[in-house]
Amino acid sequence: MLGLNKKDTSLLIVVAILTLLAPFILNPFPTDSAMAQFNAGYPDLMQRFVIFGIFAIGFNILFGLTGYLSFGHAAFLGVGSYSAVWMFKLLSYSVIPAIALSVVVAGLFSLLIGFVSLRRSGIYFSILTLAFAQMSFALAYSVLSNPKFNLTNGETGLQVYSDDPQILQSANAPDLPHLFGVPMRATYTLDVGAWSFDFNAGYYMCAVIMMVVFYLAIRIFRSPFGMMLRAVKSNQQRMNYTGLNSKPYTLAAFVISGMYAGLAGGLMAAMDPLAGAERMQWTASGEVVLMTILGGSGTLIGPVLGAGFIKYFENIFSKINDNVLHSWFAFLPDGLEDAVVFVIHPFIGKGWHLTLGILFMLVVIYLPGGLVEGGQRILNRLKRKKPQTDETKSGESEPAE
């Protein structure tokens, strides 16, 4: 199916089902219950799941296949966002040209950075990409915000104003990002008993795009090009001794990965038409590294799982405060209730990074292959052992495999 083997086709179908049914899967608790705090089926968070999933899938093509660790991929995310917002300002709020421009500009920018950075490998490559990302952040934050040629609007962020040209914006079109007239913020709410499910146009557009780029990632992983990238990761020096030049392959992987990041940045701007320099900081680059390693570097579904895991903690656990904790443990005696809240307090709210750090440490120590390895271990335990075959005939032995 679609040029994929049975295993990859099954994986693609499973991801498609989970993505399309996310509004139901991510809202397991009734809306008015105390556990509704852990529901994640609202549009903004679901959009972040798939957008950062795209970002992590692209990063995994570089890091997971070639082993080149980039600390500067947030630069392409920011460039994609700025490009999309400029398209909104100059042409119209249609998301198609904005997303297309974000991918093209990010691809050209990654070609330039990759051409220079890939002259080195290992830690030197990582430092070069980090340096380029920080220079890009500095340019966006201060230099390019100069009133003479204000391209980024500095710390305020680039946004669309009423006096912008928007030469293709028709009078009947929505005054916010849209796809063929359907606003990205359009949401249909389905109430079923005590449950409430939101179906957002922006989320489903991002979800369809994620399925397309996920399919492309599978084809890259299974292609001869992907095999060459694995050879680079396995032993680049031995590969060079055979007469194969690895630089075009690594540069192509870097550009493809940058285009994925630019696409994610363009989608972020399409959901919220604002681009800021903070998207280019080194912390954003570090976040996608965590997503990929946490989910499973070099696997297909791992980066998506890692992105969802981190964004879930960022948005859900950061909202839990002492009042919520007191409501949960109100059944305890006063002194014990206060003690429990005191112990848990450092790990929630603004301290959610501490919880994430502990979980990341546990995954790295006990599950080096990330969440994918954890899932594989669970499946292996659930599988029944195959019944042993009858003993071989006397005088015969089983052939060794």
| Sign of the torsion angle spanned by Cα atoms 262, 313, 158, 97 | positive
Q: Encode 5-55 in three state secondary structure.
A: CHHHHHHHHHHHHHHHCHHHHCCCCCCCCHHHHHCCCCHHHHHHHHHHHHH
Instruction: Enter the tokens of residue 363.
Output: 């995954």
pLDDT of amino acid 386:
55
CB atoms within 10 A of CB 42: 18
3-state percent helix, strand, coil for the chain, nearest multiple of 5: 65, 5, 25
Q: Which amino acid is at 228?
A: M
Q: Do the beta carbons of residue 273 and residue 60 sit within 8 Å?
A: no
CB-CB neighbours of 368 under 10 Å: 11
Query: If you search the block for the tokens 């791992």, which residue do you land on?
Result: 302
Confidence at residue 64, expressed as pLDDT on a 0 to 100 scale: 93
pLDDT of res. 314? 84
pLDDT at position 243: 82
Instruction: Answer for the pair 109, 76: CB distance below 8 angstroms, yes or no.
Output: yes
Angle, helices 74-90 vs 95-117, to 10°: value is 150
Contact 263, 103 (CB under 8 A): yes
Mean pLDDT, consecutive 10-residue stretches, the chain (401 aa), reads 85 92 91 84 92 96 94 94 94 94 96 94 92 92 79 87 85 86 92 90 95 95 93 85 87 96 95 90 90 91 92 84 85 88 87 85 86 87 63 44 39
Cα distances from 184 to residues 42, 187, 349, in angstroms, run 14, 8, 29
What stretch of H or E contains 196? Answer: strand 195-200
Return the structure tokens found at 112.
């330039």
Closest-CA residue to 291 (of 356, 229, 386): 356
CA atoms within 13 A on the CB side of 55: 35
Q: Cα–Cα distance between 369 and 300 in angstroms, integer?
A: 12
| Nearest one of 48, 108, 122, 45 to 75, comparing CA atoms | 108
Per the CB < 8 A criterion, the answer to whether 23 and 199 are in contact is yes
Using an 8 Å Cβ cutoff, are 306 and 292 in contact? yes
User: Contact, 114 vs 251, CB < 8 A?
Assistant: yes
pLDDT, residue 398, reads: 42
Give the whole-angstrom CA distance, residue 105 versus residue 98. 11
Residues in the chain: 401
pTM attached to this predicted model: 0.91
Q: Which residue has the tokens 């669309």?
A: 160
| CA contacts within 13 A on the Cβ side of 177 | 27
CA nearest to 303, candidates 54, 23, 73: 54
